[in-house]
């Protein structure tokens, strides 16, 4: 719970008026929805599912909890997600509306209408079918941010093939692990990815992953030509996206699937073991993607929505691929990084594209505060941001000072700042202010969304009073929740519905506290060994295993250290098989280990600090004393009792970071 001190609500917050005429208009409207859900949870969700989705075959059953916690929603209903995100917009008169304004790393802008996006998706869907990809086959997508990336996801949805998007920053080894676990039959990738003026050879990484063994089921690799860079080619298996598309008709009958049909599997880090494949449904997931676009973001026909996430993460799934298209919105999709060609990129893009709803990560805001302070030319006040009406953040706690800067400097004190709390597993927003209703308090994600029965309990599952910290749980199932862990239902059951809490509460994995007066929630940080680095989830065990696999390393322990900009920094404590290195040698080995982690997992997992010692501080029973390591990582004077530590002398060796 290292983030708690970053997250104290502040008394000097700017007063931001709520928006008028929002989808949920005022606290009374919010309370009415909460009451409706409390009265009849199933009827509430059934009403929303009928109003917000187009069903091929209407459902008659709402919730099936016979096999809890493997809940099923709308199970006898049939629909298709791509139909709801594309065809439905054409039928509703939005064929010529811009679906996506794409801005490339180098600033080149392209626009695509709903009609054109529909045809692209249909062509690719046909091409996948022509290559033998069928309903239920899994397709891995390893793509840069692009229209093509979103089209690839929707094409898979169209033919009922669950996709598994792997973030372009993951290494060949991580990609391989995911391809094997999900049992992919095809991969959609690009020749290269462009980011911040640099390129990354995605196709080469796919080839490397495919030679690692175990992914022989992959018979097709589709390649989007992004940069035109040279790539290796395997005849028969590899195919250019543009050539495949040209050969196909531009309409495609959707595969109508049951509401519980897996729409995708997205891997995320847990506290133990390998990354887990979070499986989401079609009906329940898409429902919440659409509803939260309306409730949280108050999306209106003239809005220009911009979520800066990557499609490799859940935020990019829900608030780039599925949510905006399900409600027929115009959205900006951005390929690059916030600091290229300079740190004014976000503000410049908001100005040029007249973005009205902007959704980003606290890390990005914190790093842009620093650059704006140093250089007026990239300060938001140097841009016309008057198009903005709603701001949001996601992925990690936002500290009140960053919140206030965002509200005042970016939002001009006019725009509600929505601190949205949710997770890969929850599919969409869980606890968040509503722009037309909720009085805002910086440092708090405020109140649960209507229909979401969030609560705070102690370790035995008993309610704790407001003002007292505990663990965040959700009492009732909700439609967009995780269905299972791909291939590992027992891990799902034990991990999310633990017996210690009585087996009936969804355990989010975060600590939380409610304000005694307002009942507002503040998230205090993970209660497990998951770190949040720049808004990305990283398991300490994963990084430890990667380090331990290096031939130089005898033992490795990884902890997080609170960091002003990136939230948490990765700190690795290392014992080498040889002597403890010092000076230039320590630096050389540390760099080698960082590069190793980059290869094993991906650059995002590289430890910021590496510290060497002769032995790991352990208890007499041989357990690494992580609590102590966390204090050492923070640079705290070690005042704690070290009498339980077998070898306290080594602690001081770890004081210096390399």
**CA angle in degrees (0–180, nearest 5) for 124-129-134:** 125
Q: Is 422 in the site for ligand WTA (CB under 6 A)?
A: yes
Burial of 412 (0-12, 13-18, 19+ CB in 10 A): middle
Q: What backbone torsions phi and psi does residue 507 show, to the nearest 5 degrees?
A: -95, 115
Q: Taking phi first (over 0 means left), then psi (-120 to 50 degrees means alpha), and beta for anything else, what does residue 567 get?
A: left
Q: Is 364 in the site for ligand WTA (CB under 6 A)?
A: no
Q: Is 419 in the site for ligand WTA (CB under 6 A)?
A: yes
Rounded alpha-carbon distances, angstroms, from residue 600 to 117, 265, 544, 548, 605: 36, 21, 11, 11, 9
Is 57 annotated in a binding site? The answer is: no
Q: Is 41 in the site for ligand WTA (CB under 6 A)?
A: no
Q: Is 6 in the site for ligand WTA (CB under 6 A)?
A: no
Is 352 annotated in a binding site? The answer is: no
Contact with ligand WTA (CB under 6 A): which of 395, 411, 427, 607?
Answer: 395
Helix, strand, coil shares of the chain, percent, nearest 5, are 35, 25, 45
Interface segment toward ligand WTA; rule CB under 6 A; list 59-67, 127-135, 394-402, 553-561: 394-402
Interface segment toward ligand WTA; rule CB under 6 A; list 201-209, 363-371, 421-429, 611-619: 421-429
Contact with ligand WTA (CB under 6 A): which of 80, 248, 268, 653?
Answer: 268
Query: Which is closer to ligand WTA, CB of 523 or CB of 553?
Result: 523
Q: Is 206 in the site for ligand WTA (CB under 6 A)?
A: no
Is 50 annotated in a binding site? The answer is: no
Q: Is 420 in the site for ligand WTA (CB under 6 A)?
A: yes
Tell me the residue number closest to ligand WTA, measured at CB: 424
Contact with ligand WTA (CB under 6 A): which of 396, 529, 563, 568?
Answer: 396
Q: Is 537 in the site for ligand WTA (CB under 6 A)?
A: yes
Contact with ligand WTA (CB under 6 A): which of 284, 397, 461, 470?
Answer: 397
* Subset of residues 441 to 470 that bind ligand WTA, contact rule: CB under 6 A: 445
Q: Is 423 in the site for ligand WTA (CB under 6 A)?
A: yes
Query: Which is closer to ligand WTA, CB of 168 or CB of 395?
Result: 395
Is 198 annotated in a binding site? The answer is: yes
Query: Would you call 132 helix, strand, or coil by DSSP?
Result: coil
Q: Give the residue ranges of DSSP H helices in 164-280.
A: 172-182, 202-210, 241-246
Q: Whats the size of the chain, residue-wise?
A: 658
In the stretch 487-526, what mask flags binding to ligand WTA with x, by CB under 6 A? ---------------------xxx------------x--x
Query: Would you call 382 helix, strand, or coil by DSSP?
Result: helix
CA distance 246 to 612: 57
* ω into 69 cis (within 30 of 0): yes
Contact with ligand WTA (CB under 6 A): which of 62, 154, 314, 349?
Answer: 314
The answer to whether 430 and 423 are in contact (CB under 8 A) is yes
CB-based contacts of 449, cutoff 8 Å, min separation 6:
292, 295, 296, 429, 430, 431, 432
Q: Is 154 in the site for ligand WTA (CB under 6 A)?
A: no
Query: Would you call 448 helix, strand, or coil by DSSP?
Result: strand
Query: Would you call 161 helix, strand, or coil by DSSP?
Result: coil
* ω into 341 cis (within 30 of 0): yes
Query: Which is closer to ligand WTA, CB of 170 or CB of 422?
Result: 422
What are the binding residues for CoA?
A: 195-198, 315, 534
What are the binding residues for Mg(2+)?
A: 553
What are the binding residues?
A: 195-198, 315, 395-397, 419-424, 510, 526, 534, 537, 553
* Contact positions vs ligand WTA (CB under 6 A): 268, 313-315, 394-397, 419-424, 445, 508-510, 523, 526, 532, 537
């Amino acid at each position: 719970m290292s983030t708690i001190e970053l997250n104290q609500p502040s008394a000097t917050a700017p007063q931001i008026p709520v928006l008028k005429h929002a989808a949920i208009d005022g606290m009374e409207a919010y309370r009415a929805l909460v009451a409706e859900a409390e009265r009849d949870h199933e009827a509430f969700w059934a009403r929303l599912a009928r109003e917000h989705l187009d069903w091929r075959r209407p459902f008659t059953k709402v919730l099936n909890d016979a096999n809890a916690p493997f809940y099923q929603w709308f199970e006898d209903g049939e629909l298709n997600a791509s139909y709801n995100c594309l065809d439905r917009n054409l039928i509703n008169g939005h064929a010529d509306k811009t679906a996506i304004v794409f801005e490339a790393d180098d600033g080149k802008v392209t626009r695509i209408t709903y009609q054109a996006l529909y045809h692209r998706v249909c062509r690719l869907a046909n091409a996948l079918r022509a290559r033998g990809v069928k309903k239920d086959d899994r397709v891995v997508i390893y793509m840069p941010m692009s229209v093509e990336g979103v089209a690839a996801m929707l094409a898979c949805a169209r033919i009922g093939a669950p996709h598994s998007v792997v973030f372009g920053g993951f290494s060949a080894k991580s990609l391989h692990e995911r391809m094997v676990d999900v049992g992919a039959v095809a991969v959609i990738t690009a020749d290269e990815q462009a980011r911040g003026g640099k390129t990354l050879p995605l196709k080469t990484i796919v080839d490397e992953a495919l030679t690692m063994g175990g992914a022989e089921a992959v018979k097709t690799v589709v390649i989007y030509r992004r940069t035109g860079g040279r790539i290796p080619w395997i005849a028969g298996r590899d195919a250019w996206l543009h050539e495949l598309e040209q050969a196909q008709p531009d309409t495609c009958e959707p595969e109508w699937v049951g509401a519980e049909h897996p729409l995708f599997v997205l891997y995320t880090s847990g506290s133990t073991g390998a990354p887990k494949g979070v499986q989401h449904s079609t009906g329940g997931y898409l429902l919440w993607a659409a509803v939260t676009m309306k409730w949280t973001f108050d999306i209106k026909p003239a809005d220009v929505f911009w979520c800066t996430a990557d499609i490799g993460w859940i935020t990019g799934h829900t608030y780039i691929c599925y949510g905006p298209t399900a409600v027929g919105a115009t959205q900006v999709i951005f390929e690059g990084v916030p600091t290229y060609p300079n740190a004014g990129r976000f503000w410049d893009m908001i100005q040029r594209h007249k973005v009205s709803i902007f959704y980003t990560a606290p890390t990005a805001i914190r790093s842009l505060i620093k650059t704006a302070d140093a250089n007026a030319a990239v300060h938001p006040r140097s841009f016309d941001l008057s198009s903005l009406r709603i701001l949001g953040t996601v992925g990690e706690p936002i500290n009140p000072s960053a919140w206030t800067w965002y509200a005042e400097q970016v939002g001009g004190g006019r725009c509600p700042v929505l601190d949205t709390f949710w997770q890969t597993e929850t599919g969409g927003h869980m606890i968040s202010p509503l722009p037309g209703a909720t009085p805002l308090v910086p440092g708090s994600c405020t109140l649960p969304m209507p229909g979401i029965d969030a609560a705070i309990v102690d370790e035995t599952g008993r309610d704790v009073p407001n003002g007292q910290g505990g663990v965040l749980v959700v009492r009732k199932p909700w439609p967009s929740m995780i269905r299972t862990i791909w291939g590992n239902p027992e891990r799902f059951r034990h991990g999310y519905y633990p017996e210690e809490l009585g087996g009936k509460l969804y355990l989010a994995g975060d600590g939380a506290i409610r304000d005694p007066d307002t009942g507002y929630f503040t998230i205090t940080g993970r209660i497990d060994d998951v770190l949040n680095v720049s808004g990305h989830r990283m398991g300490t065990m994963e990084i430890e295993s990667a380090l331990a696999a290096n031939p130089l390393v005898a033992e490795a322990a990884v902890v997080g250290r609170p960091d002003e900009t990136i939230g948490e920094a990765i700190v690795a404590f290392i014992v080498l098989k040889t002597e403890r290195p010092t000076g230039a040698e320590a630096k050389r080995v540390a760099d080698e280990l960082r590069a190793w982690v980059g290869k094993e997992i991906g650059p995002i997992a590289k430890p910021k600090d590496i510290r060497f010692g002769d032995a790991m501080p352990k208890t007499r029973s041989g357990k690494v004393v992580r609590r102590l390591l966390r204090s050492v990582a923070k640079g705290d004077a070690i005042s704690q009792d070290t009498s339980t530590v077998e070898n306290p002398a080594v602690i001081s060796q770890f004081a210096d970071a390399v």
